Amino acid sequence: MSVGVYVNFDGNCQEAVEYYASVFETEQPVFMTFGMGPEDPSYPMPEEAKSRIMHTNLIIEGTMIMFSDTFPGMPLTVGNNMSLILQCDSKERITKYFEKMSDEGSVDMPLQKTFWSELYGSVVDKYGIAWQFSYDENAK
């Protein structure tokens, strides 16, 4: 059994996920838009919804994270209801990822030694998503 993370955006999911794929050097994501699904003639899909992302995912350091856009008009509060934590067994990769994410983000806590980790830091990325980076020599 595993626990996954699903992150919603308000129309900029594709841009955000492509950025994350670049930061974490993953395979390029495959995007499914709302417009790719079957349309119900009783409920025509608004034109603005068709290009929004219904589903995509990335494998980041062995963990699948799923993403989508909200349907137009759905309320969304970005960033304050969740954070993503990346635990990694390489100080070099943690540092590289943190620096890339910090480049256009806002550092809440610089990478540093803490009582629970030899290297830990947190940043809010340019899309308003909170990330924690933690070195764990036993991470798989």
Tell me the mean pLDDT in the region 21-27: 97
Residue 1 has a pLDDT of 41
Residue 100 backbone phi and psi in degrees, to 5:
-65, -45
Domain boundaries, the chain: 1-74, 77-140
What is the tens place of the pLDDT at every residue in 34-44?
A: 999 888 888 88
Q: DSSP letter at 110?
A: E
C-alpha span between 41 and 30 (Å, rounded) = 27
**Which CATH code of 3.40.30.10, 3.40.50.1820, 3.40.1350.10, 3.10.180.10 fits the domain covering 1-74?**
3.10.180.10
pTM above 0.95, yes or no: no
What Cα–Cα distance (Å) separates residue 13 from each residue in 25, 68, 81? 18, 6, 17
Residue 74 has a pLDDT of 85
Model confidence band, residue 80 (pLDDT cutoffs 50, 70, 90): low
Residue 100 has a pLDDT of 96
Task: For domain 77-140, give the CATH superfamily.
Answer: 2,3-Dihydroxybiphenyl 1,2-Dioxygenase, domain 1 (3.10.180.10)
AA identity, residue 16: A
The answer to whether the 1-74 and 77-140 domains have the same CATH topology is yes
